[in-house]
Chains A and B, each alone.
Chain A
Amino acid sequence: MNLRFSLSRFVAVLWKEFIQMRRDRVTFGMMIGLPIIQLMLFGFAINADPRHLPTLVEVNDDGPLTRALLAGMDTSGYFDFIGQVRGPDAGEEALRRGEANFVVVIPADFERDVVRGLRPNLLIAADASDPSAVSGAAAAMSGIVNGAIAQTLTGPLSPAAGAPLPFEVIVHRQYNPEGKTSTNIVPGLLAIILSMTMVMITAVAIVKERERGTMEMLISTPVTPLEVMLGKILPYVFVGYVQTAVFLVAAFAVFQVPFTGTFSAFFFGFNLFVLGNLALGFLISTVAKNQMQAMQLSFFTILPSILLSGFMFPFAGMPGWAQAIGTGVPATHFIRLIRKVMLKGAGTFDVTAELTALGVIVLVITVIAMLRYRQTLD
């Protein structure tokens, strides 16, 4: 027996492997594409210290100190003033609907009370359902306040500038007062769990039929495409329901995440989201040639669901192009929806924007998948 290492045999195996690698286009594309995309996402898109967060102001007083304060917040880069609100209800509403991350409330007679040394409260209501989006800006407030004071409380007003601060900044962390990460992460996790399993299971289940040849037997019978698709997909909707039930129980029992909104809002969004993932899996199955490719492509679609959806990193902190991609990802809208429903007490009306976005995405994916399905059958 010849057990010596043969260079030519080794090279032959090596060469064969390269040829096979090159022929498997999808895998090859993944090997080249994945590092590039991950680099782009982690390098450019993700920002754990987000700036330019949409901010509303409720101005009940006007004066040099107020103006200096707002100007200081604006130039800090953390806050982007998008408008004014009147009354606490309007501010609350904007926070719940996710239109603004902050509402700054300048109380009535603010300037006068400061000069009189009454130490009035400056309230900043923050949407803390994503604590990392809020914490950087909140931390920056003390510097902004000091700057504004140094700028305006000069001359005869300087006694008011002494320590302690002439007014109190109260950051009201709404929806997640303790700033717990789990309160932020857990609701979004449902989107990730469903994305991972629904997309992959559907894609693999359909590709498996084709790969094993059973699809040929199946379509040689009088069964219609709709019967096959519904029959193959609905079991996984059921799996999605089971996963969600387990998730809700665990979220409540283990992580003490509240469920403050209405169940109907959750129910509509959840079904649309599951449908969207199944349609995506179906679409992948029309592209993938074998189960391995189906797995890879599914994994590929999960990446933006984790990184660009606002699940791990604040959506508002991403550059415009990343936000644009993120807007096309169903998980983005479902994560917003479920955070609103679980943490902010939102009802169906409050999540119409998310429901609409999910509906559009589901429709687009389904249409593309159906078009492709007909082509591949023939």
Chain B
Amino acid sequence: MSEERVIDVRGLTKRFGDKTVVDHFDIAVSKGAIYGFLGPNGSGKTTTIRMLCGLLLPDEGEGQCLGFDVRREAGKIKAEVGYMTQKFSLYEDLTIRENLDFVARMYRVKDRKSRVDGALADLGLADRAGQLAGTLSGGWKQRLALAACLIHDPKLLLLDEPTAGVDPKARRDFWDEIRRLSKAGVTVLVSTHYMDEAIQCDFITYIAYGKKLIDGRATEIPTMVGLTTWRAEGPELVALEDALKGQPGVDQVARFGSALHVSGTDAAALAATVAKFQNHKRQRWSEVPAGLEEAFIYLMAGARDNFSRDAA
């Protein structure tokens, strides 16, 4: 590839005790891309992000992040990365302005006063700058956290489940901001559980048990997963859903608004099953191109919660 690589690591591995949390993970991210990290709980998303920004030292693996070695130059990487933790990690007993000012000092931001004022104005919190951060609502805390990790103009944003517990409107605003940053050349790596967020990403990698299962452009993911999908519309969809489950060729049945999407990797077997149900004439059937949603439901179903290894 000719485009500039912001992250390029190979064989990243992290073990805690005898448990391998991240297992030989490769990732290449180009400048300005929005890269989505998907995977169930405990799949190693947070650990990978922590290794990329120098919070954890990888046991194995090598590579560069922003042109600096991930093993030896963690300090230089940290200076140009904005990392937003999963949990609100600013000081609840400092005011909004004090928090921003503190973070700016940590990065030794020039013209600190005007940067902080600017960030407060962008947030729309200028008149509440003296309020304690702990008194903010979830959505506001998240906006403040984003503003704090942007205060030093990072080249790379690492966002660890940034919108957990935030209402839909705030999430939409948040993603508008992320896309704006991406256009301005900031590379964004974001981990998420939400499918509507995954769809916003240019590239997607899916992790389970610390291993990368799939990695590619968001538009190519459905093809890579290789699903065929039929759409059924009409009455009695609940009964139909129950009847379809377990039939030959049917890997998943998912409700999409007023329709049912039936998908499977074995196109022929699925077609045969669908043909059987089409005879009932209760619902209208049509074959549709498999989308990202179906692909994700399929992937998610394949890898349950990674804390319970035996179950999977």
Contact = CB atoms under 8 A, between A and B. Distances in A.
A220 to B, nearest CB: 4
Interface in B137-179: 148
A221 B78 contact: yes
B143 to A, nearest CB: 16
A214 interface: yes
Nearest to B56: A378
Interface stretch (B82-90, B232-240, B267-275): B82-90
A201 to B, nearest CB: 15
Interface in A179-226: 212-214, 216-224
Contacts of B87: 213
Contacts of A213: 85, 87-89
A222 B79 contact: yes
Contacts of B92: 212
Given A213-B85, A216-B55, A378-B56, A222 B91 contact: no
Contacts of A378: 56-57
Interface string B63-81: 0000000000001001101
Nearest to B145: A217
Nearest to B14: A378
Interface string B27-49: 00000000000000000000000
A37 B91 CA distance: 39
Contacts of A221: 78, 103, 106-107
Which size bracket describes the interface of A in this complex?
10 to 19
A212 B90 CA distance: 9
Contacts of A214: 89-91
B81 A220 contact: yes
Contacts of B90: 214, 217
A218 B88 contact: no
Contact of A216 (B79, B89, B107, B148): B89
B237 to A, nearest CB: 40
A304 to B, nearest CB: 33
A212 B91 CA distance: 8
Contacts of B85: 213, 216-217, 220
B53 interface: yes
Given A212-B92, A213-B89, A220 B75 contact: no
Leading 5 A-B pairs by shortest Cβ distance: A217-B89, A221-B106, A220-B83, A213-B89, A213-B87
29 contacts: A212-B89, A212-B91, A212-B92, A213-B85, A213-B89, A214-B90, A214-B91, A216-B85, A217-B83, A217-B85, A217-B90, A217-B103, A217-B148, A219-B55, A220-B54, A220-B81, A220-B83, A220-B85, A221-B78, A221-B103, A221-B106, A221-B107, A222-B75, A222-B78, A222-B79, A222-B107, A222-B108, A223-B106, A224-B75
Interface of B: 53-57, 75, 78-79, 81, 83, 85, 87-92, 103, 106-108, 148
Given A213-B87, A220-B81, A378-B56, 10 more contacts: A212-B89, A213-B85, A216-B89, A218-B106, A219-B55, A220-B53, A220-B54, A221-B107, A222-B75, A223-B106
